[in-house]
Structure 1
Amino acid sequence: MRTLLASITVALALVASPLAQAADEAKPFATAKEIDLLQILPPPPANDSAQTKAELGEVLTLQVTRTPEMEKRAQADVVEDVWRFAEVIGSPKFNRESLPKFAAFFDRVVATEGAVVDPAKDTWKRPRPHQVSDLVKPTVKISNSGAWPSGHTTVGTLMGIVLSNMLPERRAAIMARAWEYGNNRIVGGIHYRSDVEMGRISGSVIAQTIAQQDDFKTEFAAAKAELRSALGM
Protein backbone atom coordinates (compact mmCIF):
# COMPACT_ATOMS: atom_id res chain seq x y z
CA MET A 1 0.00 0.00 0.00
CA ARG A 2 2.79 2.40 0.90
CA THR A 3 4.48 1.66 -2.41
CA LEU A 4 1.23 2.35 -4.26
CA LEU A 5 0.69 5.65 -2.43
CA ALA A 6 4.25 6.69 -3.10
CA SER A 7 3.83 5.92 -6.80
CA ILE A 8 0.63 7.97 -6.96
CA THR A 9 2.31 10.88 -5.21
CA VAL A 10 5.20 10.86 -7.67
CA ALA A 11 2.82 10.63 -10.62
CA LEU A 12 0.82 13.60 -9.41
CA ALA A 13 3.99 15.62 -8.89
CA LEU A 14 5.09 14.86 -12.43
CA VAL A 15 1.74 16.00 -13.79
CA ALA A 16 1.79 19.25 -11.80
CA SER A 17 5.45 20.09 -12.31
CA PRO A 18 5.25 21.48 -15.87
CA LEU A 19 2.98 24.30 -14.73
CA ALA A 20 4.93 24.99 -11.55
CA GLN A 21 8.32 24.98 -13.24
CA ALA A 22 7.40 26.53 -16.60
CA ALA A 23 8.43 30.09 -15.79
CA ASP A 24 11.70 29.02 -14.15
CA GLU A 25 12.72 26.91 -17.12
CA ALA A 26 11.63 29.34 -19.85
CA LYS A 27 14.31 30.49 -22.29
CA PRO A 28 14.68 34.28 -22.42
CA PHE A 29 14.35 36.03 -25.76
CA ALA A 30 17.48 38.05 -24.96
CA THR A 31 20.13 38.44 -22.27
CA ALA A 32 22.48 41.18 -21.11
CA LYS A 33 24.77 40.25 -24.01
CA GLU A 34 22.20 41.57 -26.47
CA ILE A 35 20.76 44.34 -24.26
CA ASP A 36 23.45 45.87 -22.04
CA LEU A 37 21.70 48.24 -19.64
CA LEU A 38 25.10 49.47 -18.45
CA GLN A 39 25.38 51.16 -21.84
CA ILE A 40 21.81 52.49 -21.81
CA LEU A 41 21.04 53.72 -18.30
CA PRO A 42 22.95 56.25 -16.22
CA PRO A 43 24.45 55.07 -12.92
CA PRO A 44 22.30 55.50 -9.81
CA PRO A 45 22.61 58.59 -7.60
CA ALA A 46 24.82 58.32 -4.52
CA ASN A 47 23.25 57.39 -1.20
CA ASP A 48 24.06 60.82 0.24
CA SER A 49 22.90 62.76 -2.82
CA ALA A 50 20.08 65.30 -2.68
CA GLN A 51 18.09 63.10 -5.08
CA THR A 52 18.32 59.99 -2.93
CA LYS A 53 17.44 61.97 0.19
CA ALA A 54 14.37 63.41 -1.53
CA GLU A 55 13.31 59.99 -2.80
CA LEU A 56 13.79 58.50 0.65
CA GLY A 57 11.50 61.21 1.96
CA GLU A 58 8.83 60.15 -0.54
CA VAL A 59 9.10 56.52 0.59
CA LEU A 60 8.75 57.55 4.24
CA THR A 61 5.78 59.79 3.45
CA LEU A 62 4.03 56.96 1.64
CA GLN A 63 4.78 54.70 4.58
CA VAL A 64 2.49 56.77 6.81
CA THR A 65 -0.11 57.71 4.18
CA ARG A 66 -0.65 54.46 2.26
CA THR A 67 -4.00 52.83 2.89
CA PRO A 68 -4.61 49.14 3.68
CA GLU A 69 -5.93 48.72 0.13
CA MET A 70 -2.73 50.24 -1.32
CA GLU A 71 -0.66 47.89 0.82
CA LYS A 72 -2.74 44.91 -0.29
CA ARG A 73 -2.26 45.72 -3.97
CA ALA A 74 1.47 46.31 -3.52
CA GLN A 75 1.80 42.95 -1.80
CA ALA A 76 -0.17 41.18 -4.53
CA ASP A 77 2.04 42.75 -7.21
CA VAL A 78 5.12 41.06 -5.80
CA VAL A 79 4.18 38.18 -8.11
CA GLU A 80 5.88 38.59 -11.48
CA ASP A 81 3.55 37.17 -14.12
CA VAL A 82 1.13 38.36 -16.77
CA TRP A 83 -1.89 37.13 -14.82
CA ARG A 84 -1.61 40.27 -12.68
CA PHE A 85 -3.35 41.97 -15.64
CA ALA A 86 -6.45 39.80 -15.19
CA GLU A 87 -8.56 42.61 -13.76
CA VAL A 88 -8.17 44.73 -16.89
CA ILE A 89 -8.74 41.76 -19.21
CA GLY A 90 -11.90 40.76 -17.39
CA SER A 91 -12.34 37.21 -18.63
CA PRO A 92 -12.47 33.89 -16.74
CA LYS A 93 -10.49 32.39 -19.62
CA PHE A 94 -7.49 34.58 -18.87
CA ASN A 95 -5.49 31.87 -17.12
CA ARG A 96 -2.62 29.47 -17.78
CA GLU A 97 -4.82 26.41 -18.28
CA SER A 98 -6.99 28.07 -20.95
CA LEU A 99 -4.10 29.77 -22.76
CA PRO A 100 -1.13 27.35 -22.97
CA LYS A 101 0.61 29.05 -25.93
CA PHE A 102 0.07 32.49 -24.44
CA ALA A 103 1.35 31.29 -21.05
CA ALA A 104 4.50 29.72 -22.50
CA PHE A 105 5.20 32.84 -24.52
CA PHE A 106 4.90 35.14 -21.50
CA ASP A 107 7.06 32.79 -19.44
CA ARG A 108 9.81 33.61 -21.93
CA VAL A 109 9.00 37.33 -21.74
CA VAL A 110 9.31 37.26 -17.94
CA ALA A 111 12.54 35.25 -18.12
CA THR A 112 13.98 37.89 -20.44
CA GLU A 113 13.65 40.58 -17.77
CA GLY A 114 15.81 38.68 -15.30
CA ALA A 115 18.40 37.77 -17.93
CA VAL A 116 18.79 41.42 -18.94
CA VAL A 117 18.29 43.26 -15.65
CA ASP A 118 20.01 41.10 -13.03
CA PRO A 119 23.57 41.66 -14.33
CA ALA A 120 23.03 45.43 -14.25
CA LYS A 121 21.57 45.32 -10.74
CA ASP A 122 24.54 43.23 -9.59
CA THR A 123 26.99 45.73 -11.09
CA TRP A 124 25.44 48.93 -9.75
CA LYS A 125 24.36 47.47 -6.39
CA ARG A 126 22.23 50.46 -5.41
CA PRO A 127 21.01 49.87 -1.82
CA ARG A 128 17.26 49.78 -1.32
CA PRO A 129 15.50 52.29 0.95
CA HIS A 130 15.36 49.93 3.93
CA GLN A 131 19.10 49.32 3.62
CA VAL A 132 19.79 53.05 3.79
CA SER A 133 17.39 53.98 6.59
CA ASP A 134 16.11 51.93 9.51
CA LEU A 135 12.99 54.09 9.44
CA VAL A 136 11.80 52.36 6.27
CA LYS A 137 9.50 49.43 6.97
CA PRO A 138 8.58 47.74 3.68
CA THR A 139 5.09 46.30 3.48
CA VAL A 140 6.18 43.79 0.82
CA LYS A 141 8.63 40.91 0.84
CA ILE A 142 12.14 42.14 1.63
CA SER A 143 14.73 41.99 -1.13
CA ASN A 144 18.38 42.91 -0.78
CA SER A 145 19.38 42.67 -4.42
CA GLY A 146 20.48 45.82 -6.22
CA ALA A 147 17.67 48.34 -6.63
CA TRP A 148 18.72 49.96 -9.93
CA PRO A 149 16.74 49.43 -12.09
CA SER A 150 13.57 47.96 -10.57
CA GLY A 151 13.14 44.48 -11.98
CA HIS A 152 9.44 44.37 -11.10
CA THR A 153 8.86 47.63 -12.92
CA THR A 154 10.89 46.43 -15.89
CA VAL A 155 8.87 43.25 -16.25
CA GLY A 156 5.57 45.04 -15.60
CA THR A 157 6.31 47.57 -18.33
CA LEU A 158 7.56 44.86 -20.68
CA MET A 159 4.47 42.69 -20.14
CA GLY A 160 2.20 45.71 -20.49
CA ILE A 161 3.68 46.74 -23.83
CA VAL A 162 3.59 43.22 -25.27
CA LEU A 163 0.07 42.52 -23.98
CA SER A 164 -1.26 45.84 -25.24
CA ASN A 165 0.19 45.06 -28.67
CA MET A 166 -1.99 41.95 -28.64
CA LEU A 167 -5.02 43.89 -27.42
CA PRO A 168 -4.63 47.44 -28.77
CA GLU A 169 -8.31 48.08 -27.99
CA ARG A 170 -7.40 47.91 -24.30
CA ARG A 171 -4.00 49.58 -24.45
CA ALA A 172 -4.88 52.47 -22.12
CA ALA A 173 -6.17 50.22 -19.35
CA ILE A 174 -3.31 47.72 -19.74
CA MET A 175 -0.60 50.38 -19.59
CA ALA A 176 -2.28 52.10 -16.65
CA ARG A 177 -2.10 48.77 -14.83
CA ALA A 178 1.55 48.37 -15.84
CA TRP A 179 2.30 51.82 -14.41
CA GLU A 180 0.56 50.95 -11.15
CA TYR A 181 2.53 47.70 -10.99
CA GLY A 182 5.75 49.69 -10.98
CA ASN A 183 4.50 52.41 -8.66
CA ASN A 184 3.54 49.74 -6.13
CA ARG A 185 7.24 49.11 -5.56
CA ILE A 186 7.44 52.62 -4.08
CA VAL A 187 4.20 52.15 -2.17
CA GLY A 188 5.61 48.91 -0.78
CA GLY A 189 8.71 50.73 0.43
CA ILE A 190 11.14 48.53 -1.49
CA HIS A 191 12.23 50.95 -4.26
CA TYR A 192 12.95 54.61 -4.93
CA ARG A 193 11.07 56.47 -7.66
CA SER A 194 14.14 56.67 -9.88
CA ASP A 195 14.53 52.87 -9.67
CA VAL A 196 11.01 52.64 -11.07
CA GLU A 197 11.69 55.22 -13.78
CA MET A 198 14.77 53.26 -14.89
CA GLY A 199 12.66 50.09 -14.89
CA ARG A 200 10.16 51.68 -17.26
CA ILE A 201 12.96 52.67 -19.61
CA SER A 202 14.45 49.18 -19.39
CA GLY A 203 11.13 47.47 -20.04
CA SER A 204 10.51 49.68 -23.07
CA VAL A 205 13.96 49.01 -24.50
CA ILE A 206 13.62 45.27 -24.01
CA ALA A 207 10.16 45.23 -25.61
CA GLN A 208 11.37 47.14 -28.66
CA THR A 209 14.48 44.99 -29.07
CA ILE A 210 12.97 41.53 -28.79
CA ALA A 211 10.04 42.49 -31.03
CA GLN A 212 12.50 42.44 -33.94
CA GLN A 213 13.46 38.79 -33.42
CA ASP A 214 12.02 36.03 -35.60
CA ASP A 215 11.32 33.62 -32.72
CA PHE A 216 9.54 36.36 -30.81
CA LYS A 217 7.42 37.27 -33.85
CA THR A 218 6.41 33.64 -34.39
CA GLU A 219 5.45 32.97 -30.77
CA PHE A 220 3.81 36.38 -30.40
CA ALA A 221 1.52 35.70 -33.36
CA ALA A 222 0.44 32.32 -31.99
CA ALA A 223 -0.10 33.67 -28.47
CA LYS A 224 -2.03 36.68 -29.76
CA ALA A 225 -4.31 34.50 -31.87
CA GLU A 226 -4.99 32.17 -28.94
CA LEU A 227 -5.73 35.08 -26.59
CA ARG A 228 -8.03 36.94 -28.94
CA SER A 229 -9.91 33.75 -29.79
CA ALA A 230 -10.42 32.96 -26.10
CA LEU A 231 -11.69 36.48 -25.48
CA GLY A 232 -14.02 36.33 -28.51
CA MET A 233 -12.17 39.11 -30.33
Structure 2
Amino acid sequence: MSSSLRSAAARPMLVTALLAALAGCASTAEPGTTPVEASVTTKAVGYLQGSAVPDSLALVPAPPAAGSAGFALDEQVSREARALRGSPRFDQAHRDAELAFPAGANQFSCAIDVDVDAVKTPALYRLLERSRIDASAATRTAKKHYQRARPFMVNGEPTCSPEDEQDLRGNGSYPSGHTSIGWAWALILSEIAPDRADAIQARGRNYGESRLVCNVHWQSDILEGRFMGAAAVARLHDNAAFNSDLLAARKEIAAARKAGLHSARDCAAEEAVLKVRPASTL
Protein backbone atom coordinates (compact mmCIF):
# COMPACT_ATOMS: atom_id res chain seq x y z
CA MET A 1 0.00 0.00 0.00
CA SER A 2 1.34 3.45 -0.92
CA SER A 3 2.12 6.01 1.81
CA SER A 4 -0.75 8.23 0.59
CA LEU A 5 -3.25 5.35 0.91
CA ARG A 6 -1.93 4.41 4.35
CA SER A 7 -2.36 8.05 5.45
CA ALA A 8 -5.95 8.19 4.19
CA ALA A 9 -6.82 4.92 5.95
CA ALA A 10 -5.38 6.14 9.24
CA ARG A 11 -7.38 9.37 9.20
CA PRO A 12 -10.70 7.94 10.48
CA MET A 13 -8.88 6.23 13.35
CA LEU A 14 -7.21 9.48 14.34
CA VAL A 15 -10.52 11.35 14.23
CA THR A 16 -12.16 8.66 16.38
CA ALA A 17 -9.35 8.84 18.94
CA LEU A 18 -9.55 12.63 19.04
CA LEU A 19 -13.33 12.58 19.58
CA ALA A 20 -12.94 10.03 22.39
CA ALA A 21 -10.32 12.20 24.08
CA LEU A 22 -12.53 15.27 23.83
CA ALA A 23 -15.48 13.34 25.25
CA GLY A 24 -13.31 12.27 28.18
CA CYS A 25 -12.32 15.87 28.85
CA ALA A 26 -15.92 16.99 28.73
CA SER A 27 -17.01 14.34 31.22
CA THR A 28 -14.28 15.18 33.72
CA ALA A 29 -15.09 18.89 33.46
CA GLU A 30 -18.69 18.24 34.57
CA PRO A 31 -18.99 19.14 38.27
CA GLY A 32 -19.83 16.29 40.62
CA THR A 33 -20.77 16.45 44.26
CA THR A 34 -18.63 18.70 46.44
CA PRO A 35 -18.22 17.92 50.16
CA VAL A 36 -19.15 20.71 52.54
CA GLU A 37 -18.73 20.03 56.26
CA ALA A 38 -19.12 16.40 57.20
CA SER A 39 -22.22 14.80 55.64
CA VAL A 40 -23.42 17.75 53.53
CA THR A 41 -22.77 17.53 49.79
CA THR A 42 -23.84 19.73 46.91
CA LYS A 43 -23.72 19.71 43.13
CA ALA A 44 -22.72 23.37 43.13
CA VAL A 45 -19.05 24.35 42.92
CA GLY A 46 -17.17 27.10 44.68
CA TYR A 47 -15.75 30.19 43.06
CA LEU A 48 -12.19 29.37 44.15
CA GLN A 49 -10.13 26.63 42.53
CA GLY A 50 -6.75 25.10 43.33
CA SER A 51 -4.23 27.40 44.99
CA ALA A 52 -6.82 30.20 45.24
CA VAL A 53 -8.33 28.35 48.24
CA PRO A 54 -6.64 29.57 51.47
CA ASP A 55 -4.42 26.95 53.11
CA SER A 56 -5.54 26.62 56.72
CA LEU A 57 -2.59 24.44 57.65
CA ALA A 58 -0.27 27.32 56.71
CA LEU A 59 -2.46 30.00 58.30
CA VAL A 60 -3.63 28.72 61.69
CA PRO A 61 -1.50 27.57 64.64
CA ALA A 62 -1.75 24.06 66.05
CA PRO A 63 -4.80 23.54 68.30
CA PRO A 64 -4.25 23.90 72.08
CA ALA A 65 -2.52 20.86 73.54
CA ALA A 66 -4.01 18.82 76.36
CA GLY A 67 -2.95 20.31 79.70
CA SER A 68 -2.37 23.80 78.26
CA ALA A 69 -4.11 26.97 79.42
CA GLY A 70 -5.72 27.22 75.99
CA PHE A 71 -7.27 23.78 76.29
CA ALA A 72 -8.41 24.51 79.84
CA LEU A 73 -10.36 27.47 78.45
CA ASP A 74 -11.77 25.26 75.69
CA GLU A 75 -13.01 22.83 78.34
CA GLN A 76 -14.51 25.60 80.47
CA VAL A 77 -16.46 27.08 77.56
CA SER A 78 -17.57 23.60 76.55
CA ARG A 79 -18.99 22.94 80.03
CA GLU A 80 -20.87 26.25 79.99
CA ALA A 81 -22.22 25.56 76.50
CA ARG A 82 -23.37 22.04 77.41
CA ALA A 83 -25.40 23.50 80.27
CA LEU A 84 -27.73 24.92 77.60
CA ARG A 85 -28.80 21.45 76.46
CA GLY A 86 -32.58 21.17 76.36
CA SER A 87 -33.05 24.94 76.16
CA PRO A 88 -34.36 27.00 73.20
CA ARG A 89 -30.73 27.90 72.47
CA PHE A 90 -29.92 24.21 72.04
CA ASP A 91 -32.85 23.87 69.62
CA GLN A 92 -31.50 26.86 67.68
CA ALA A 93 -28.09 25.17 67.49
CA HIS A 94 -29.80 22.18 65.88
CA ARG A 95 -31.39 24.47 63.26
CA ASP A 96 -28.07 26.22 62.68
CA ALA A 97 -26.41 22.88 61.90
CA GLU A 98 -28.33 22.74 58.60
CA LEU A 99 -26.08 23.68 55.70
CA ALA A 100 -27.80 21.87 52.84
CA PHE A 101 -29.61 24.12 50.39
CA PRO A 102 -32.33 25.34 50.03
CA ALA A 103 -32.82 25.38 53.83
CA GLY A 104 -29.28 26.60 54.47
CA ALA A 105 -29.81 29.64 52.27
CA ASN A 106 -31.99 31.24 54.93
CA GLN A 107 -29.77 30.92 57.97
CA PHE A 108 -29.21 34.70 57.81
CA SER A 109 -32.66 35.73 56.54
CA CYS A 110 -33.58 37.45 59.82
CA ALA A 111 -30.25 39.27 59.88
CA ILE A 112 -30.74 40.67 56.37
CA ASP A 113 -34.55 40.83 56.78
CA VAL A 114 -35.09 39.17 53.40
CA ASP A 115 -35.98 35.58 52.55
CA VAL A 116 -33.51 33.99 50.12
CA ASP A 117 -35.06 32.07 47.24
CA ALA A 118 -33.48 30.42 44.19
CA VAL A 119 -36.19 31.92 41.97
CA LYS A 120 -36.85 35.34 43.54
CA THR A 121 -33.25 36.12 44.57
CA PRO A 122 -31.15 33.85 42.31
CA ALA A 123 -27.88 35.80 42.54
CA LEU A 124 -28.02 35.94 46.34
CA TYR A 125 -28.87 32.24 46.52
CA ARG A 126 -25.97 31.40 44.20
CA LEU A 127 -23.59 33.68 46.08
CA LEU A 128 -24.35 32.02 49.43
CA GLU A 129 -24.21 28.49 48.06
CA ARG A 130 -20.93 28.88 46.20
CA SER A 131 -19.17 30.89 48.92
CA ARG A 132 -20.27 28.22 51.42
CA ILE A 133 -18.18 25.70 49.50
CA ASP A 134 -15.16 28.01 49.42
CA ALA A 135 -15.31 28.81 53.15
CA SER A 136 -15.60 25.12 53.97
CA ALA A 137 -12.68 24.24 51.67
CA ALA A 138 -10.54 26.87 53.41
CA THR A 139 -10.59 24.78 56.63
CA ARG A 140 -9.86 21.43 55.01
CA THR A 141 -6.06 21.10 55.13
CA ALA A 142 -5.81 21.81 58.87
CA LYS A 143 -8.82 19.60 59.63
CA LYS A 144 -7.21 16.70 57.79
CA HIS A 145 -3.77 17.27 59.31
CA TYR A 146 -4.73 17.67 62.97
CA GLN A 147 -7.80 15.39 63.06
CA ARG A 148 -8.73 16.96 66.38
CA ALA A 149 -11.32 15.02 68.39
CA ARG A 150 -14.61 16.86 68.83
CA PRO A 151 -16.01 17.65 72.29
CA PHE A 152 -18.69 14.95 72.22
CA MET A 153 -15.99 12.37 71.46
CA VAL A 154 -14.11 13.49 74.58
CA ASN A 155 -16.91 14.16 77.07
CA GLY A 156 -19.28 11.43 75.86
CA GLU A 157 -22.31 13.71 76.04
CA PRO A 158 -25.02 14.18 73.36
CA THR A 159 -24.90 16.68 70.50
CA CYS A 160 -27.70 18.79 69.03
CA SER A 161 -27.50 16.78 65.79
CA PRO A 162 -27.18 13.06 66.56
CA GLU A 163 -27.90 12.30 62.91
CA ASP A 164 -24.53 13.89 62.01
CA GLU A 165 -22.36 12.29 64.68
CA GLN A 166 -21.06 9.36 62.65
CA ASP A 167 -19.81 11.66 59.89
CA LEU A 168 -18.45 14.19 62.37
CA ARG A 169 -16.27 11.55 64.04
CA GLY A 170 -14.22 11.25 60.87
CA ASN A 171 -14.09 15.00 60.21
CA GLY A 172 -11.51 16.95 62.23
CA SER A 173 -12.80 19.52 64.70
CA TYR A 174 -10.17 22.22 64.05
CA PRO A 175 -10.92 24.73 62.63
CA SER A 176 -14.72 24.86 62.48
CA GLY A 177 -16.14 24.68 58.96
CA HIS A 178 -19.60 25.88 60.00
CA THR A 179 -18.02 28.90 61.67
CA SER A 180 -15.89 29.65 58.62
CA ILE A 181 -19.01 29.55 56.46
CA GLY A 182 -21.06 31.65 58.87
CA TRP A 183 -18.38 34.32 59.20
CA ALA A 184 -17.78 34.41 55.43
CA TRP A 185 -21.50 34.92 54.93
CA ALA A 186 -21.54 37.65 57.57
CA LEU A 187 -18.78 39.59 55.81
CA ILE A 188 -20.30 39.13 52.36
CA LEU A 189 -23.83 40.02 53.44
CA SER A 190 -22.58 43.09 55.31
CA GLU A 191 -21.36 44.40 51.96
CA ILE A 192 -24.65 43.60 50.24
CA ALA A 193 -26.87 45.02 53.00
CA PRO A 194 -24.79 47.58 54.94
CA ASP A 195 -27.96 48.93 56.56
CA ARG A 196 -28.15 45.61 58.45
CA ALA A 197 -24.42 45.14 59.07
CA ASP A 198 -24.59 45.03 62.89
CA ALA A 199 -27.35 42.39 62.87
CA ILE A 200 -25.56 40.40 60.19
CA GLN A 201 -22.23 40.32 62.02
CA ALA A 202 -23.92 39.43 65.30
CA ARG A 203 -25.53 36.53 63.45
CA GLY A 204 -22.16 35.49 62.08
CA ARG A 205 -20.81 35.34 65.60
CA ASN A 206 -23.68 33.43 67.16
CA TYR A 207 -23.86 31.08 64.18
CA GLY A 208 -20.40 29.85 65.12
CA GLU A 209 -21.29 29.76 68.82
CA SER A 210 -24.11 27.35 67.99
CA ARG A 211 -21.38 24.78 67.36
CA LEU A 212 -20.28 25.16 71.00
CA VAL A 213 -23.84 24.73 72.24
CA CYS A 214 -24.22 21.71 69.94
CA ASN A 215 -21.20 20.04 71.65
CA VAL A 216 -19.41 19.49 68.32
CA HIS A 217 -16.66 22.15 68.50
CA TRP A 218 -14.22 23.74 70.95
CA GLN A 219 -13.89 27.48 71.32
CA SER A 220 -10.47 27.53 69.63
CA ASP A 221 -12.07 25.77 66.62
CA ILE A 222 -14.57 28.62 66.46
CA LEU A 223 -11.98 31.40 66.71
CA GLU A 224 -9.81 29.97 63.93
CA GLY A 225 -12.92 29.19 61.88
CA ARG A 226 -13.73 32.92 61.84
CA PHE A 227 -10.18 33.63 60.71
CA MET A 228 -10.44 31.17 57.81
CA GLY A 229 -13.83 32.57 56.79
CA ALA A 230 -12.26 36.01 56.52
CA ALA A 231 -9.33 34.57 54.56
CA ALA A 232 -11.75 32.98 52.09
CA VAL A 233 -13.63 36.25 51.56
CA ALA A 234 -10.37 38.10 50.93
CA ARG A 235 -9.58 35.63 48.13
CA LEU A 236 -13.13 35.81 46.76
CA HIS A 237 -12.78 39.52 46.10
CA ASP A 238 -10.23 38.71 43.41
CA ASN A 239 -12.71 36.45 41.59
CA ALA A 240 -14.69 37.95 38.70
CA ALA A 241 -17.68 35.59 39.01
CA PHE A 242 -17.97 36.30 42.74
CA ASN A 243 -17.86 40.06 42.17
CA SER A 244 -20.52 39.80 39.46
CA ASP A 245 -22.84 37.85 41.76
CA LEU A 246 -22.10 40.25 44.62
CA LEU A 247 -23.26 43.20 42.53
CA ALA A 248 -26.37 41.36 41.32
CA ALA A 249 -27.25 40.26 44.87
CA ARG A 250 -26.95 43.84 46.09
CA LYS A 251 -29.51 44.87 43.46
CA GLU A 252 -31.84 42.06 44.55
CA ILE A 253 -31.69 43.21 48.18
CA ALA A 254 -32.36 46.81 47.10
CA ALA A 255 -35.37 45.67 45.06
CA ALA A 256 -36.72 43.69 48.02
CA ARG A 257 -36.35 46.75 50.26
CA LYS A 258 -38.15 48.92 47.69
CA ALA A 259 -40.99 46.39 47.48
CA GLY A 260 -41.35 46.42 51.27
CA LEU A 261 -40.48 42.73 51.64
CA HIS A 262 -39.31 41.27 54.98
CA SER A 263 -38.26 37.89 56.31
CA ALA A 264 -41.19 35.58 57.00
CA ARG A 265 -39.44 34.05 60.04
CA ASP A 266 -40.25 34.89 63.65
CA CYS A 267 -37.16 37.06 63.88
CA ALA A 268 -37.95 38.59 67.27
CA ALA A 269 -38.06 35.13 68.84
CA GLU A 270 -34.85 34.06 67.07
CA GLU A 271 -33.03 37.19 68.19
CA ALA A 272 -34.05 36.65 71.82
CA VAL A 273 -32.84 33.05 71.78
CA LEU A 274 -29.51 33.95 70.16
CA LYS A 275 -28.69 36.44 72.91
CA VAL A 276 -28.07 33.48 75.23
CA ARG A 277 -24.33 32.75 75.12
CA PRO A 278 -21.80 30.67 77.08
CA ALA A 279 -20.30 33.14 79.60
CA SER A 280 -16.63 32.63 78.73
CA THR A 281 -16.84 32.84 74.94
CA LEU A 282 -14.44 35.24 73.24
The interval holding the TM-score normalised by the smaller chain is 0.7 to 0.9
Structure having the larger proportion of residues in helix: 1
Say yes or no: does 1:24 pair with 2:42. Answer: yes
Say yes or no: does 1:191 pair with 2:217. Answer: yes
Shift of residue 61, structure 1, vs aligned partner: 2.8
**Whole-angstrom distance in 2 between the partners of 1:159 and 1:32:** 21
1:101 is matched with which residue? 123
1:18 is matched with which residue? none
Identity %: 25
Matched positions, count? 209
Say yes or no: does 1:163 pair with 2:189. Answer: yes
**Whole-angstrom distance in 2 between the partners of 1:32 and 1:54:** 35
**Whole-angstrom distance in 2 between the partners of 1:188 and 1:108:** 25
* Cα RMSD for the two superposed structures: 2.0
**Whole-angstrom distance in 1 between the partners of 2:87 and 2:93:** 10
**Whole-angstrom distance in 2 between the partners of 1:33 and 1:171:** 30
Amino acid at match of 1:112: D
1:230 is matched with which residue? 256
SS at match of 1:231: helix
Distance of aligned partners of 1:40 and 1:99 in 2 relative to their CA distance in 1, 3 Å threshold: same
Shift of residue 67, structure 1, vs aligned partner: 5.5
Shift of residue 125, structure 1, vs aligned partner: 0.9
Shift of residue 66, structure 1, vs aligned partner: 4.8
Structure 1 length-normalised TM: 0.82
Deviates more, 1:46-55 or 1:176-185: 46-55
* Match runs of 1:182-221 below 5 Å: 182-221=208-247
Shift of residue 41, structure 1, vs aligned partner: 0.8
2:203 is matched with which residue? 177
Aligned match for 1:137, one of 147, 152, 158: 158
| Alpha-carbon contact 1:30-1:116 (below 8 Å) kept | no
SS at match of 1:47: coil
> Where in structure 2 are there 5+ consecutive unaligned residues?
1-40, 260-282
Shift of residue 115, structure 1, vs aligned partner: 2.4
Say yes or no: does 1:78 pair with 2:104. Answer: no
Structure 2 length-normalised TM: 0.69
2:134 is matched with which residue? 112
Distance of aligned partners of 1:32 and 1:149 in 2 relative to their CA distance in 1, 3 Å threshold: farther
| Alpha-carbon contact 1:154-1:201 (below 8 Å) kept | yes
Say yes or no: does 1:124 pair with 2:146. Answer: yes
Shift of residue 184, structure 1, vs aligned partner: 0.7
Q: Deviations over 1:105-132 (max 9, x none)?
A: 2211111123222232111211111222
Shift of residue 178, structure 1, vs aligned partner: 0.8
> Where in structure 1 are there 5+ consecutive unaligned residues?
1-22
1:19 is matched with which residue? none
Q: Which structure has the larger Rg? A: 2
Amino acid at match of 2:134: T
